[in-house]
Amino acid sequence: MSDTPATTLYELNLFQRYFDLVASGRKTIEVRVKYPKLEGLEAGDLIRFRVKDTDQACLVRVLRVAEYASFADLLDGEGPARVNPASTREEQLTNIRAIYGLEKESLGALAIEIQLTAPDA
């Protein structure tokens, strides 16, 4: 019997512009609302990111999950360059809030530190 916990695989969609940053290894922090379906997400788990309605996908390993009260707190705590190296903090905050809205932000924000895995992982 093994004491090693099972790795969970999550399937999540990304917009093309964010997928490209993840797939290139430039985006190391993924931002998500603290939805119940992500409650058990932890270091060691895997996430397969997909661009909706395409066959584009990449696999990442979760290194760390941190909770924040707001997206602004998350960007300040994690550093905007790790979330999106192609945009300023203000641009990112506007874009994240456009995707999720203030009502979802009230659930809390997750900073998911990720590392791109080898293609055969």
51-79 confidence digits (pLDDT tens): 999 999 999 999 999 999 999 999 999 99
**Inside any domain, residue 74:** yes
Q: What per-residue confidence (pLDDT) applies to 121?
A: 47
Question: Does 3 map to a domain?
Answer: no
| Rg from Cα positions in the chain | 14
- Render each residue's pLDDT in the chain as its tens digit; 121 residues: 555 567 899 999 999 999 999 999 999 999 999 999 999 999 999 999 999 999 999 999 999 999 999 999 999 999 999 999 999 999 999 999 999 988 999 999 999 999 999 764 4
- Beta-bridge partners for 30: 112
Rounded-to-integer distance, Cα 98 and Cα 121, Å? 33
Q: What is the pLDDT at residue 3?
A: 58
Q: How many folded domains does the chain comprise?
A: 1
H-helix or E-strand spanning residue 13: strand 9-14
- pTM, two decimal places: 0.91
Task: Look up the CATH number of the domain holding residue 80.
Answer: 2.30.130.30
**Residue 43 structural domain:** 9-116
